[in-house]
Structure 1
Amino acid sequence: MTSSDRVGLITVSYNSARDLERFWAGRPFGPYRWTVVDNHSSDDSRRVARRLGAQVVALGSNRGFSAANNVGVAATDCDVLIFCNPDVTVTPDGVAALADGARRHGGLVAPQLVNADGSPQENGRGLPFPTRKLRHLLRRSDPAYLRFARPGELVEVVWAMGAALAVTRSDLAALGGWDDGFFVYYEDSDLGLRAWRYGMGVRLDGDVRWRHGWGRETARGFSATAWRHELASAARFYRKHPHCLVPVGPRARALGRVDAVRTRSEARHA
């Protein structure tokens, strides 16, 4: 088995045909295996994904983001798993770097996501206090919440957006996989906090800069369905992690130490 065979990409699609065509045409994943788990799309997502080179797992209903990710994990035997959204353009060098980081450091490793013009997106985050979440939804800048990694930096964050995340299979298994109680939203916050709880950590790799279209529904205006999922996931998240609602106790103190160090980075070639 070659090194590329030991790394697999997993993408969850739901009516994502246009994004798959836009971001994945030309096999940007190079020699790596790519699995698309389709959440019962009504468009051509499955056909497009197969044409672009993916192994497609077609679900009979929309089971949500977390559950579909877990299906993707079961559908591949790769040692390192990289979860990446349909609106992310990966690169072979970036895949190799993230896989190496996941093996070397353990826990979760994310690229620094960027916009089409190369400007960084805030895919690294601090502690998800409700006040921080509200300010972010209201488009108010909060440097205490938003984290970035410059080229040459490997930056510790409390959690990273699930649009692109690398983890070894063994670490994901130790974490119990994605929590499929989250249909969509907050599942990445939950995974990051669980990684810290188990002593694994979450990092942004500033040398891997992947373009991300970022089409979150709650950011585009009112959608009753999207907000229903948002609120249900928020309720589940704060029940699981009450120290993010009332920051007291040993877990709050441990995460507070990570949250307080906003510029911590590690030497890339140590």
Structure 2
Amino acid sequence: MNWADADEPTVSIITVTFNSRAALLEYWSGWDGSAEWIVVDNASTDDSAQVARDLGARVIRLETNLGFSGANNVGARAASGSVLGFVNPDVAIQQPAVRALAERAAGGRRLVAPQLVNVDGSPQENGRGAPYPHRKLAHMFRPSSRANQKYSRVISSGIENVVWVMGAAVFATREVFDEIGGWNEQFFIYYEDSDICLRALNKGIRTEVLGDVKVTHGWSRATVHERSSAIWKIEFSSAVKFYASHPYCLIPIGPRGRTMREADRAVGGGPRVS
């Protein structure tokens, strides 16, 4: 870490790659070395690992593809920082954003995400309400529907509590990450971000989006843009695991259902948090 103030939290950025050479070159070529950067490479067949080394990362090369959650946990175990930032290879992040996210994460029991923006600067809807199945479907196929209006959030300024965020960029202290139990390795890819935020919520750990911290994300959702049968199968398998693990998302009853409903009611409707 290059910050001058020794009282600042130490930060480790963890990035999972799988054939991510092009993304690394596009989004990380300007990396300023403002934190420890660990790249966990999921047995790529391209030169992602070497590109990451050349860009300044410490690389852990896996012999088999452990998936997003498993590789993130490998990176977390190897990291030295008191704050962990999980940042995708198609995200461009620099010191001001790292610092703001790390300081916010270090200030309490919370998961913290930036407001993601597209390459052209337009906002992405990375803040989310409760992941009821009809909302998930509306988000995929009818984004202009009423069901999606509460579910998908853009936080243009300030700080807002949400139920969950996309896993493209998420920060937490090591203590909070360990308390949650890390990333759930039953999710190879998809739904792992919903899962970690709901497990946090059930422990009284809130999820926040910092609207004033804008970070570019070159997002391209394969299940929407490509619609390959293999991708759909993975998504469906993850969905089954997710709703089996969180049945209160199907029928929001019981203590966890009430907790989620309360958090969902606050999304977009309450005052900014301090």
Residue 31 of structure 1 deviates from its aligned partner by 2.0
- The answer on whether the counterparts of 2:9 and 2:106 sit within 8 Å (CA) in structure 1 is no
Structure 2 residue aligned with 1:15: 19
Moved more, 99-108 or 154-163: 99-108
Structure 2 residue aligned with 1:80: 83
Residue 117 of structure 1 deviates from its aligned partner by 2.0
Amino acid aligned to 2:149: P
Residue 5 of structure 1 deviates from its aligned partner by 7.5
Residues 1:224 and 2:201 aligned together? no
Residue 57 of structure 1 deviates from its aligned partner by 0.3
- The answer on whether the counterparts of 2:69 and 2:188 sit within 8 Å (CA) in structure 1 is yes
State which of 213, 216, 241 in structure 1 corresponds to 2:218.
213
Structure 2 residue aligned with 1:24: 28
Residue 265 of structure 1 deviates from its aligned partner by 4.3
Normalised to the residue count of structure 1, the TM-score between the two structures is 0.95
**Pairs within 5 Å for 1:16-55:** 16-28=20-32, 30-55=33-58
Residue 207 of structure 1 deviates from its aligned partner by 1.3
Name the SS for the 1:42 alignment partner.
coil
Structure 1 residue aligned with 2:200: 195
State which of 159, 174, 181 in structure 1 corresponds to 2:164.
159
Residue 116 of structure 1 deviates from its aligned partner by 1.5
Give the gaps of 5 or more residues in structure 2: none
Residue 105 of structure 1 deviates from its aligned partner by 2.9
Root mean square deviation, CA, Å: 1.5
Residues 1:147 and 2:150 aligned together? no
Moved more, 211-220 or 155-164: 211-220
Structure 2 residue aligned with 1:259: 264
Name the SS for the 2:98 alignment partner.
helix
Could you tell me how far apart the structure 2 residues matched to 1:190 and 1:231 are? 15
Could you tell me how far apart the structure 2 residues matched to 1:265 and 1:74 are? 36
Could you tell me how far apart the structure 2 residues matched to 1:156 and 1:5 are? 23
Could you tell me how far apart the structure 2 residues matched to 1:21 and 1:176 are? 32
Could you tell me how far apart the structure 1 residues matched to 2:19 and 2:28 are? 15
Could you tell me how far apart the structure 1 residues matched to 2:214 and 2:155 are? 9
Residue identity over aligned pairs, in percent, reads 48
Could you tell me how far apart the structure 2 residues matched to 1:103 and 1:4 are? 9
